[in-house]
């Protein structure tokens, strides 16, 4: 899944990782596969959130799952400063 992150603030935001849980409490956690990501002030950045076989560096807690159409996922983006931003995405 690809999401767009917008930075409306005045400082760059450095992305350190993400957590993708499903409704059953299973979750994948990992780091952006593109390496170091930075969302500059007043800009938008597309970020790929990979799970399963597409994410060789992810950690799975629980059972494997896929992003299913019509389902809502509560995604948490974690910055290098350990700030967390959680939002819901419906595929």
| Domain CATH code at residue 69 | 2.60.40
Is 6:23 a contact under the CB 8 Å cutoff? no
Structural domain count, the chain? 1
Query: What pLDDT sits at residue 33?
Result: 61
User: Of the segments 5-14, 47-56, 64-73, which one has the largest average pLDDT value?
Assistant: 5-14
pLDDT digits (tens, 9 = 90+) for 27-64: 999 887 656 689 999 999 988 888 888 888 889 999 99
pLDDT at residue 9 above 90? Answer: yes
> Residue 20's closest CA among 32, 11, 8?
32
**What is the pLDDT at residue 35?**
63
Range of the domain at 33: 2-90
Verdict on whether the full-model pTM lies above 0.85: no
pLDDT of residue 86: 92
Query: For the residues 20-33, what does the mean pLDDT come to?
Result: 85
Please give the Cα distance from 72 to 23 (Å, whole number). 8
């Amino acid at each position: 899944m690809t999401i767009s992150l917008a930075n409306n603030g005045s400082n760059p935001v450095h992305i350190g990782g993400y957590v993708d849980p499903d409704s059953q409490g299973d979750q994948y956690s990992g780091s952006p596969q593109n390496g170091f990501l930075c969302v500059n002030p007043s800009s938008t950045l597309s970020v790929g959130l990979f799970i399963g076989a597409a994410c060789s560096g992810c950690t799975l807690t629980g059972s494997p799952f896929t992003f299913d159409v019509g389902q809502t996922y509560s995604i948490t983006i974690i910055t290098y400063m350990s700030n967390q931003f959680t939002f819901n995405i419906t595929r």
